[in-house]
Structure formats: structure tokens, C-alpha cells
Structure 1
Amino acid sequence: MRTTVRWATTLGLTATAVCGPLSGAALAEPGLAPTALYAPSVLVLTVGHGESAIATTPERAVTLSCAPRPLGTHPAAAPACAELRGVHGDFGALTSHEGLMCTKQYAPVVVTVDGVWQGQRVSYERTFSNDCMKNAFGTGVFSF
């Protein structure tokens, strides 16, 4: 049941994030060329407490669109998009914030990412040992 709720939430947010910007294109005047062509980059990020996404109900979900400009419900969309562009959308290549001290308390936090990055389907899941470690990793991307 939890997996069904997670996927329904993810698909609903993805559809909203993808279709919202596209609806403006239909309103453009006929005969006008688009000002810029870009590959879509629309992501839905979720976070929940638990050891895996299957056994965890998302507690928060945000959208992040990075093209043509950063927008979405992510609280730091511009820095998150810049950070993702720096690693070419490879969430595994994001690094931890240097010098940040975190406790060794074990309170697992699961982050998932589903969507499209520059036209390619993306699905990512990572479990952090606690909130501090999550916030230190990919400083702008997972800080929501």
C-alpha cells in the first residue's frame, strides 16, 4: 500500500511539473519560434524516515525543474540546479559538505528522486544515517 501511495504521489507531482510549463507553449502566438530549445529536466524529490523507500512513506515531496530556468517547490531551486549541472545530473557524484560535523546517531532517512534530467529518465534512492548526513550530502539538492 505504501508503495502505491509513493508512486501515485510521484506521478502526480511529475505530471504537474512537466505539463505546467508545457501549457504556456500552447498559448504562444502561431508562427513565432521558441526563444530556446532545451531538454526537459523535471524531478520529484521525496524524503522520509526509514531504511528503504519501499518500507517508508514519504514525509515531504518537492518538485525541481532546471530548464529553461530553475523553478518548482524546492526551497533552493537555483543552487540545486547548479549543483546538478556540475555533476551532469549524476546524483551519485554529489559530494558531502567539507568540514560539517554530524553525530553518529542512527535515525535513517531515505531520499528518492524520480523524473527526467536533460531528456533522460532518472530514478535514484539513497539512505542516510540521519538528517545531518542527508543535509551535508549534495548541500543544495537534498536540503528541503
Structure 2
Amino acid sequence: MRHNRHAIFAAIAAGALALSGLAATSAHAAPAKPASLYAPSALVLTVAQGEDPLTATVKRAVTLTCAPGAEGTHPAPEAACAELELVGGQFTALARTSPDRMCTRQWDPVVITAHGVWHGQRVAFSTTYGNACELAGSMHESAVYSF
């Protein structure tokens, strides 16, 4: 009975090794297929406390994928992707000042960033606002940074 257990264990181990080798071989044999026919559009968007995007403390961050479909952790990916399409992925075009918005002159900087890929092109965007009120006034109608 003792020999049978060792023989069974050896057979199971040999079978598992053979199957894993077969799976690894077949995975390398198939040519890689592109994931999509569309140029990728996938971004990480952040809102951070501080002046410098490299040292600011991130308060909120979301992912946004627009191609081939709108998805991610962004609360409104369809609206954000549509807005970015409208401005051709130019984040600077999203900043609109609101003449009706009154903010204090308090210096408590907030920085927003976007990093990733838009229609296959690398994106590295950041801009700093004097405080959260200025940011809210600049992005008051923007779906992209509404998270």
C-alpha cells in the first residue's frame, strides 16, 4: 500500500509536469494577435494637492479607456471620452474660466494630470491651479475631471 501511494503521487506529478510543458509550448507556438483594430486610448487621471505634479499628494485617481470602448474606474467614461474626442485629446482645451465664479486668492495649489495613450500617442499633461475653487471654476462643465 505504501508503494502504491508513492507510485500514484509520482504519476500525478509527472502528468502535471507534462501538461504544464504542453501548455507552455502551445502558448509560445501561436502568433500574437493585436488586441484591437483601434489605436489604444487609455489614461490615468489624477487630482493632487501640491504645486509640482511629481511631488504632489494624489487625492483622487481614475482610469479611463476610450478605445475601443469607453470604460474604466471613471464615474462617467462615455461622457469623458466624448469630451476628449471633441477637443481632439487636447487637455489644455478643457480648461475654461468661468467669469461668474468668484474664488479667494488663497494659495493652496491643486494639480491635475493625465498620463497614458490617446489614439496611440503618448500623453503627459499637468496643470496647476491656485486652489480647489479655481480648479472647479475651470472644469465646471468638464466630465473628464469630474471624479
TM range (shorter): 0.5 to 0.7
TM-score where L is the length of structure 1: 0.67
Indicate how the Cα distance of structure 1 residues 109 and 68 shifts in structure 2: closer, same or farther if over 3 A, else same. same
- Backbone CA RMSD of aligned residues: 2.1
Larger radius of gyration: 2
Unmatched segments (≥5 aa) in structure 1 = 1-33
Partner secondary structure for residue 107 of structure 2: coil
**Cα contact 2:112–2:127 (8 A) shared by 1:** yes
Deviation at 1:98, TM superposition (A): 4.5
Distance 1:136 1:85 in 2: 22
Please name the residue that 1:67 is paired with. Answer: 67
1:99 & 1:80 partners in 2: Cα distance? 23
- Over the matched positions of the two proteins, sequence identity in percent amounts to 50
Q: 1:82 to 1:109 in 2, by over 3 A?
A: same
| Equivalent in the alignment of 2:128 | 127
Deviation at 1:58, TM superposition (A): 1.2
Alignment correspondent of 1:37: 37
Residue type of the alignment partner of 2:146: S
Q: Which residue of 2 aligns with 1:76?
A: 76
Q: 1:83/1:39 Cα in 2 relative to 1: closer, same or farther (>3 Å)?
A: same
Partner of 1:106: 107
The DSSP-based 3-state class of the residue aligned with 1:64 is: strand
Deviation at 1:111, TM superposition (A): 0.8
Tell me which moved more, 97-106 or 83-92.
97-106
Alpha carbons of structure 1 residues 78 and 102: separation in structure 2 relative to 1, 3 Å: farther
Residues 98 and 138 of structure 2 are in contact (CA less than 8 Å); yes or no, is this contact kept in structure 1?
no
Secondary structure in 2 aligned to 1:89? Answer: coil
Structure 1 contact 109–131 (Cα < 8 Å) conserved:
yes
C-alpha distance in 2 between matches for 1:60 and 1:95: 19
Q: CA deviation at 1:99?
A: 5.4
Aligned residue for 1:142? 145
Name the residue aligned to 1:58. Answer: 58
Task: Report how far residue 120 of structure 1 moved.
Answer: 0.3
Q: Unaligned regions of 5+ residues in structure 2, if any?
A: 1-33
Following the alignment from structure 1 to structure 2, what is the Cα–Cα distance between the partners of residues 102 and 142?
A: 20
